[in-house]
Structures are given as C-alpha cells and as structure tokens.
Amino acid sequence: MIEYRDVGMHYSDDTQVLHHINFTIEDGELFVLVGPSGTGKTTALKMLNGLVVPTDGNIYFDGKRIKEYDIRKLRLQMGYVLQNISLFPNLTIEDNIGIQLEEMKRPTAERKQIAADLLNTVGLPAEKYAHRMPSELSGGEQQRVGIIRAIAARPKVVLMDEPFSALDPVSRHNLQDLVLQIHQKYNSTILFVTHDMNEALRLGDRIGVMAEGDMQQIATPQALLDHPANDIVRSFFSGISKTDKPVVELLKQAQTCTVIDESEAQSLPQVDALITTADLVTTLRQHPDGVVTHSGGRLFKITMDDLLDFLAAGGEALV
C-alpha cells in the first residue's frame, strides 16, 4: 500500500508546486492522477521513486517512509515508463527490457527468456524484435517496449508518467488496452499520470483529479462523472458536455456503438436517445451488458466500453 500523507513541495523562492495532498493507493490498484499540466502530478509521481524529494510530509510504502529505504533497492522494485519513452539507444530491445534484471544480477539466459516472452505477449515477435535497436522501431512499438521494460523485473509498483501523450490516437488506444491487460494479468499496482481526462476515465480504478497543486477529488470514473466535487472537476468534462447534441448522437458519429436488430434488443434495457452523459454512465453501471436506444429509425447497442472508448479517443474532438 502506498500512502501520501500531507505531501507538499515548495521551492526556496516559496513557489508552492504541491500543497498538502493526501491519498492512498491500494495494492493491485490502477490509480490515475489527472489534471492540466503544471499541477504537480508528475512531481507527486516522482516522489514515489525518489527522483523528487518532498519538502513537506511523507510517503509511506508498505508502512515505511520512502526516505528510510535504500533508494536504489527501492527503485529496483519499481517500474518506470517515461513520457518520451527513453529506451537506451545504445542497447538492443532485449537488453533494454532486461536492464533492471541485469542490475539484479539475473543470468543472461533468464533475461533473454523474460524479454522474449514479454515481446511475444505484446505482439512484437521476439525473433524479429529482440536484437533490433530502439531507433528501428516506430514510436508506438517503442513505447510498447517501454512498458514491458517497466514490468520485466516484476516490480511491486509501476509508475507511468504521461506515457502516451506523444503518440497518435490509434497507438494510444492500443497501448491503453495493453496497460489494462497487464494490470489484469499481473495484478500490479500502477500509478498513472495523464492530463487527458478520457484516458483517466478509461484506465483508472480510481482517479485523483489535481489542479493548481491541490487534490480536487478522488473517486471512481463513474462517481467522477456522476458527482463532480466542484467546478474545476466539472470543467474537465466541459469538452463532452458543452455541446447540446445528446451523447447518443455523438456515439453514432464516432461509430463507437453497434447497430443491432430487434431480437437482440429485446434482452437489453432501453434508454431515451436524449439521455445525458452522466445518466448514461449510471445506467450502464447497473447494466454491464449494455443498453439499447432507438435513434433515426435504427436500434443501437451501447456498452460501458463503447462510452469509455469514445471518451478516451478524445470525444471532445467531435464537438
């Protein structure tokens, strides 16, 4: 368990980048810190692996303060995915993935095996990719390697600092899926930082919304949509809510819902085509199989995944 207790950060000239924030991350949780850039979320993340030392408060990792750990040993138990990927350009993909294992003095054969297995799982066949250099891979492929590099040593915690912000929407979407897969498969604790609310909604078990160096609200994605704590949090959805078009219309435009026939529609609850986003979320939580709506003479099936995909793909772009 990770616990931020009264953690603050200010510089010598008294600029406060982080006020006293408190939150906990449970083991196996995918916790997302979201907020506009410059709100201290990356600073908060880097405090966990000691890249930044807080000026106030303490962070507890498994009940012990971070500053009491041998920082290098602690870092070996943490994976790290960087915004600009930062694969070591002089090392092969295989060596990049095995770098933490190498530091742990694990035998070469084992390192190779782990790298190969991971590469195969993420759709980069090991026999083709293991010995390539990072520069020979596309940006999306590189970050795929960046993610498996972070989990190769089976760390207790994986830190991801805006890992997909530099990628194109398709790669971003695929890699978000990868993060969810990994999270499910290894049940690893993940602290994920992003400025993209849709990404946060799609990934987070729980989401901490940060703004102006303060924690605004910590809640599940549905609760955030249902009950934003204040105007700041609400404003994150402005992109989605500022249009008069009903959400169903937007989903149709984005083709993130499926046309079904009447026989299939009978088993699902029906919602009004003019339903609000928040209401849709609430309904979908109660009906995990999805809901049906009647629009423009056709029947559409909408699931929670459809909605989150739409939001994550940057729903506001369509507005």
Partner 1 sequence: MFKQIEEVLRTQSGQIWQAIGEHIAISLISLLIACLIAIPLAIALMNHHRIAEFFLQVAGVFQTIPSLAILGILIPFVGIGTVPAIIALVIYAIMPLFQNTYAGLTDIDPSLEEAATAFGLSRSRKLFRLELPLAMPMILSGLRIATVMIIGTATLAALIGAGGLGTYIILGIENNNNALLLIGAVLSAILAIVFSALIRLLERVHFTKRGVIVTLCVFLIACGAGAFKYFAPSRQTITIAGKMGSEPEILINMYKDLIQQESPKTKVVVKPNFGGTSFLFKALESKQIDVYPEFTGTVLQAIVKEKGKTPHNPEVTYKKAKTALAKDNQMTYLKPMAYQNGYDLAVSRSFAKKYHLKTISDLAKVGDKATAAFDPDFYHQADGYPGLKKAYGLHIGTVKTMESSIRYEAIADHRVKVVDGYTTDPEIQKDHLVVLKDNKHFFPPYQGAPLMTTTFADRHPEVKRALSKLAGKITTTDMQKMNYDVTFKHEKAATVARHYLKTHGLLN
Q: Which residues bind partner 1 (CB under 8 A)?
A: 49, 51, 71-78, 80, 82, 84, 86, 88-91, 99-100, 102-103, 159
Closest Cα partner for 59 from 126, 110, 9? Answer: 9
> Which residue, 165 or 282, is less far from partner 1 as judged by CB?
165
Instruction: Give residue for tokens 């070469």.
Output: 108
Give the H/E segment covering residue 81: strand 78-81
> Which residue, 98 or 228, is less far from partner 1 as judged by CB?
98
Calculate the dihedral angle through the C-alpha atoms of 114, 115, 117, 120, rounding to the nearest 10 degrees.
170
CB of 42 to partner 1, least distance (A): 11
**Which are the contacts of 272, defined by CB distance < 8 A and separation ≥ 6?**
293
> Which residue, 102 or 316, is less far from partner 1 as judged by CB?
102
Tally of residues, the chain: 319
d(CA 288, CA 104): 43
d(CA 239, CA 198): 10
What residue type is assigned to position 223 of the chain? A
> Which residue, 153 or 215, is less far from partner 1 as judged by CB?
153
CB of 150 to partner 1, least distance (A): 9
> Which residue, 77 or 235, is less far from partner 1 as judged by CB?
77
Closest Cα partner for 240 from 300, 205, 273, 198? Answer: 198
Closest Cα partner for 162 from 16, 44, 27? Answer: 44
> Which residue, 102 or 305, is less far from partner 1 as judged by CB?
102
> Which residue, 100 or 303, is less far from partner 1 as judged by CB?
100
CB of 64 to partner 1, least distance (A): 17
CB of 41 to partner 1, least distance (A): 16
Closest Cα partner for 302 from 286, 289, 318, 285? Answer: 289
CB of 65 to partner 1, least distance (A): 18
CB of 109 to partner 1, least distance (A): 18
Q: DSSP label at 268?
A: S
Instruction: Give residue for tokens 């106030």.
Output: 56
CB of 82 to partner 1, least distance (A): 6
> Which residue, 84 or 120, is less far from partner 1 as judged by CB?
84
CB of 137 to partner 1, least distance (A): 16
Burial of 128 by CB count in 10 Å (0-12 exposed, 13-18 middle, 19+ buried)?
Answer: exposed
Report the alpha-carbon angle 173-176-177, nearest 5: 90
